[in-house]
A and B are shown apart, each in its own frame.
Chain A
Amino acid sequence: MERAMRRTDRLEERFLAVARSVANLRANGVTSALAKLRHDAQDSFASMGFPKPRSEAWKYTNIRSALRKYFPTEPVGSTPPAGYGMHGLNTDIAAFVNGRYSAAHSRNGPLPKGTIVGGLQAALGSHKESILHHLGRLAPISSCPFVALNTAALSDGAFIFVPENTRLERPLQVVHMVTSGVFFQPRTLLIAEADASVEVILSISTPPSEAAFANTVTEVSVGPGADVNAYTIQPERDRLTTVTALNVHQGTGSRFGSYTATFGGEVARNNLTITADAAHCDTFLNGLFLARGNSHIDNHTLVDHAMPDCESSELYKGILDEQSTGVFNGKVMVRQDAQRINAYQSSKAVVLTHDARMFAKPELEIYADDVKCSHGATTGQLEKEALFYLRSRGLSEKQARDLLLEAFAREFTEGLPNGEIKHLVEQLISGWLTR
């Protein structure tokens, strides 16, 4: 027992030491407010530690064993992997290499006046107040040890600022790249001011032949009347572990959509937290996960309705093949003041083999009395009669299966608000199926 404890301590200490040294290394030019946030985060992480195997929020995902494989070190080299980001899309690209904005890898058309796409640290000069108002507040260090650890080493990252009444015509890809296979911690802050409109595609890129662990934190502030879509696209990678935190605050009358498409990964744990703390918000949380091999995909969502007259709609669909595991834990919280809320949640999974597993845990916590909430979770196999019907028309077993799986995934793709991205995701789905 004592030995086990010591080993545990060493695991946390290993990551904390590196966070401290990174923080010290990059201390130059950092404001005292940021230095304090970082210091608090170090303390916070030290007291929380990584999730214990028995912790309720991590019940189905043993993240400690994934962490043990990584020695957190600074990445080596300066050349990021080729072929980063999503192809075939008419987008701007903001690329970050080892945490720093890289103009050489980015591609921007002329941006509307006042819009900022670049590095967090560089923006501290001009937008210090706005940054410090949101950074570490949208994703509080107390919310999760991974957020604390990311914040503990925070010195730079992506900063996107869309001013009032401004609309970005094209989606913006935010790509965090790392030059070697390490544990790395991308950070993004997106501020959409009142009545602004923006679509972002979030992805990471690591050297394909090397194992890597990404602990990403993305904070999004959706101003009053603003409209923001965040697409998280996670391609099939055998040796990539990701823990993502996407924390969103919505202002009055705003609309936010999160669309997460996961095509594999050794472990992918997506923590999505949306706080609708103003009236008349619309929120969409849609996800699709396809897993095979030993892939383990865990989507953990929370919609927190704090104010009245809001609507949220959530749909997660999963296809689990071979020995893969899927987890969906979706919680809808309706606080006492949040009257006249409509909240819908649905999770559906297809389990294709005897060895694949799905854990679904929908949770509703309602303190207001005038609300409409529903949730449903189904896990099953492909319908035998449907397969027979298709095969009786000459389709092979594989053709029939793929056609039904594509149809199953269509409910997700149909909900994607951007046609080009929808088309790309459809291609990724059929590519995954034909592999």
Chain B
Amino acid sequence: MKPILEIQNLRASANGTPILRGLDLSVRTGELHAIMGPNGSGKSTLASVLAGRDDYDVDGGAVSYKGEDLLEMDVDERAREGLFLAFQYPVELPGVSMMNFLKQAVNSIREHRGEEALNAAALLKRARDKAALIGLDTRLKQRSVNEGFSGGEKKRNEIFQLAMLEPTMAILDETDSGLDIDALKTVAEGVNALRTDDRGFIVITHYQRLLNYIIPNFVHVLVNGRIVKSGGKELALELEARGYDWVRDESDAVPA
């Protein structure tokens, strides 16, 4: 169990409005951390800042990733170093073929690791295997990236890419939103199959529902840009039953 990600007192803002106000979190290999919290608490901002989206300003704190300063890395460098973000709203890319996109993504990461580039046949084989794992309709691979995909197909495609790129640290940003129960189950099974001893996960979700199928090692509650409560999987159930207000009240009682 090696540490992968160490977030210390992270502060970030968008257009001058502070969103993350001193967030601490550490993730080690083999762990899956669920981050829950009410709307506007900063869940997606955390995912965006970690992936390197430049709409946010980091105002303070530190993020160490595999011992390196993550915040110093470019977006693509983070990805090549094994950080993966499953988007809440995956982008449609008309005219960009899935296979060409996957080839460039897989091989730029492999080359960075000093591995040999996959040829078309090897890539196709891997894509077939991983698509089966996620329950992704293989015909979608013939299409442009996410173009005309349903909401569920888009989310499945994110997990499919996760499987293809084999990251060290995977962040899932509200992957459950917009999924019906069947799709949710398949996606969860896919994620579970990808949980390995050398990989860490952060799963951001608004609802406890997903955590019935993906059992977290830790659950954190994010309120007002800070983690105000952490616990085991049972915390998610408590949140489901009682809502977020009681955590908010509890955290208000503690002086900052």
Contact = CB atoms under 8 A, between A and B. Distances in A.
Interface stretch (B72-80, B130-138, B218-226, B240-248): B72-80
B47 to A, nearest CB: 11
A395 B76 contact: yes
Interface in A389-435: 389-397, 399-400, 403-404, 406-408, 410-411
A394 B109 contact: yes
B96 A404 contact: yes
> Chain B CB within 10 Å — which of A388, A397, A410 has the most?
A388
A434 to B, nearest CB: 13
Contacts of A400: 76
A408 B104 contact: no
Interface string B95-114: 11000110011001100100
Contacts of B53: 388
B10 to A, nearest CB: 19
Contacts of A407: 93-96, 144
A247 to B, nearest CB: 32
Contacts of B78: 392
Contact of B87 (A383, A389, A404): A389
A395 to B, nearest CB: 5
Nearest to B92: A386
A242 to B, nearest CB: 28
Contact of A393 (B54, B74, B79): B79
B254 interface: no
Interface string B173-204: 00000000000000000000000000000000
Contact of B75 (A383, A388, A406, A411): A388
B118 to A, nearest CB: 13
A2 interface: no
B90 interface: yes
A394 B108 contact: yes
Given A388-B53, A392-B51, A399 B93 contact: no
B161 A393 contact: yes
Interface string B26-63: 00000000000000000000000001111000000000
Contact of A394 (B76, B90, B94, B100): B76
Contacts of A129: none
A56 interface: no
Contact of B165 (A386, A394, A410): A394
Contacts of B76: 391-392, 394-397, 400
B253 interface: no
B85 interface: yes
Nearest to A413: B95
B256 interface: no
Contacts of A392: 51-52, 75-76, 78-79, 84-85, 87
Contacts of B104: 394-395, 399, 403
B139 to A, nearest CB: 19
Nearest to B100: A403
A403 B95 CA distance: 9
B112 A390 contact: no
A28 to B, nearest CB: 55
Given A389-B87, A390-B101, A396-B108, A404 B93 contact: yes
B121 interface: no
A394 B79 CA distance: 5
Given A391-B76, A392-B75, A394-B79, A386 B108 contact: no
Given A403-B100, A407-B144, A393 B95 contact: no
A352 to B, nearest CB: 17
B96 A403 contact: yes
A395 B78 CA distance: 11
> Chain B CB within 10 Å — which of A383, A407, A408 has the most?
A407
Contacts of B51: 392
A383 B145 CA distance: 15
Contacts of B87: 389, 392
Contacts of A383: 91
> Chain B CB within 10 Å — which of A385, A390, A393 has the most?
A393
A246 to B, nearest CB: 27
Nearest to A411: B95
A404 B97 CA distance: 10
Contacts of B91: 383, 385-386, 389
Contacts of A393: 79, 101, 105, 161, 165
Nearest to A403: B96
Interface string A223-249: 000000000000000000000000000
B96 A391 contact: no
B105 A394 contact: yes
B180 to A, nearest CB: 24
Contacts of A385: 91
Given A394-B79, A394-B80, A394-B112, A389 B90 contact: yes
Nearest to B85: A392
Interface of B: 51-54, 74-76, 78-80, 84-85, 87, 90-91, 93-96, 100-101, 104-105, 108-109, 112, 144, 161, 165
Q: Which 9 A-B pairs have the closest CB atoms?
A: A407-B95, A394-B79, A393-B105, A410-B95, A391-B75, A389-B91, A391-B76, A407-B96, A394-B108
12 contacts: A386-B93, A391-B79, A392-B76, A393-B165, A394-B79, A394-B109, A395-B76, A395-B104, A399-B104, A400-B76, A404-B96, A406-B96
Given A392-B51, A394-B109, A407-B94, 20 more contacts: A386-B91, A389-B87, A389-B91, A390-B93, A391-B75, A391-B76, A392-B52, A392-B76, A392-B79, A392-B85, A393-B105, A393-B161, A394-B104, A396-B76, A403-B101, A403-B104, A406-B96, A407-B144, A410-B95, A411-B95
